[in-house]
Amino acid sequence: MAARAIWKGVIKAGTLEVPVKLYSAVTDRTVHFRLLHKTDKAPVKQQLVSSETGEAVDYKEVRKAYPLSRGRMVILEDEELEKLQPEDSRDIEITRFVDPSEIDPRFYDRSYYLGPDGDAKAYFAAAEALARKGKEGIAKWVMRDREYAGALKEEDGYLMLIVLRHAGEIIDADALKPPGGRALQKREIEMAEQLLTALHGEFDPSEYRDEYHERVMELVETKAKGRKPKVTKFRPRAAAKDDQLDDVLAASLAKVKKSA
């Protein structure tokens, strides 16, 4: 079944113009639970109340405020916020092309396939050129009143647009100091390297399946029939003490070699 396009736009890079349609490239499979009142199993609803008076506040009457320092907030009116909205546009503006390795994977968010919207030749020429050059375009566009940045890339001969998180959404690891301690011993590093090398292989995503989802549904069925599910616990092995790490690594290596 063909998917429905969620948006239409035009990729623009200099004189280049490629009209495209957007399709979600991912499906969401989260099991949705509802919060219930334990005693009568009725769904829980949320209410907004004033923290001062405790009285209920209608959703429509809620105003927005931005926290300042020292216990102050500034109220922002809807009209003021509306003025901040980006202007509507169909342009997907490519501001530059970059080497994919420059984009930290933490920036990648949701992916969309792009399909041609009319001019199929311009579309497939763009996909092929990106593949041949091994580059990705940095894209900027406005969709449903929101500004997005993204990476335009080729995937299986088609165009794909991956939303990139804003710089401020990523917590900078450089601000963190790595854990310190007594220097690692050469022997430990060597053994760990051997162990990781022995466990090294190709990344094959098709090897991994979400089995848990189905089992949650089985649990729900079991309970729906009034049966009691079995509850088992797992206790992880205790971490080795620092002076035992050497032995644990040696034992790990012996085990890996045996099963190889």
Partner 1 sequence: MAEEQEDLESSAPSGIRSFWTGTISFGLVTVPVALYAATRSRGTAMRMVAPDGSPVERRYVCSKDEKTLDGDDIARGYEIDKGKFVVVTDDELEAIEPRKSREIDLSRFVDADSIDPVYFDRGYFLVPSSGTNKAYRLLAEVMEKKKYAGIATFVMRAKEYLVAILSENGILRAETLRFDDEIRTPADVGLPKKTKVSAAEVKKVEAQITRRTKKLALGELADDYAERLEKLVAAKERKREDIVRVSEEESPGEGAEVVDLLAVLSRSLGGGGVRKPARRSAASEAKKRAKRK
Footprint (CB under 8 A) of partner 1, residues 199-238: 199-203, 205-206, 208-213, 215-216, 219-220, 223-224, 229-238
- 47/57 Cα distance (integer angstroms): 8
Near partner 1 by CB under 8 A: residue from 10, 92, 143, 151:
151
String marking each residue 73-92 x if it binds partner 1 according to CB under 8 A: xxxxx--xx--x-x------
Is the CB of 7 or the CB of 97 nearer to partner 1? 97
Which residues ranging from 86 to 125 are in contact with partner 1 (CB under 8 A)? 86, 94-103, 105-108, 111, 113, 115-116, 120-125
- Smallest separation, CB 90 to partner 1 (Å): 18
Q: Is 172 helix (H, G, I), strand (E, B) or coil?
A: coil
Assess contact for 135 and 98: CB atoms under 8 A.
Answer: yes
Interaction of residue 70 with partner 1, rule CB under 8 A: yes
User: In terms of DSSP bridges, do strands 7-13 and 108-116 run parallel, antiparallel, or are they unpaired?
Assistant: unpaired
Residue (65 or 90) nearer to partner 1, CB? 65
Neighbour tally for 189: CB within 10 Å: 11
Cβ distance to partner 1 smaller for residue 88 or 239:
239
Site for partner 1 in 168-187 (CB under 8 A): 168-171, 173-182, 184
- Pick between residue 19 and residue 137 the one whose CB is nearest to partner 1: 137
Q: CA-to-CA distance for 58 and 61, rounded, in angstroms?
A: 5
Q: Considering only residues 33-62, where is the footprint of partner 1 by CB under 8 A?
A: 33-53, 57, 61-62
**Is residue 6 near partner 1 by the rule CB under 8 A?**
no
Q: List, as own/partner pairs, every contact residues 164-167 make where C-beta atoms lie below 8 angstroms and the sequence separation is at least 24, other chains included.
A: 164/103, 164/107, 164/108, 164/109, 164/138, 165/106, 165/107, 165/108, 165/109
Q: Judged by CB under 8 A, does residue 15 bind partner 1?
A: yes
What's the chain's length in residues? Answer: 260
The DSSP code for 165 is -
- Helix, coil or strand: residue 13: strand
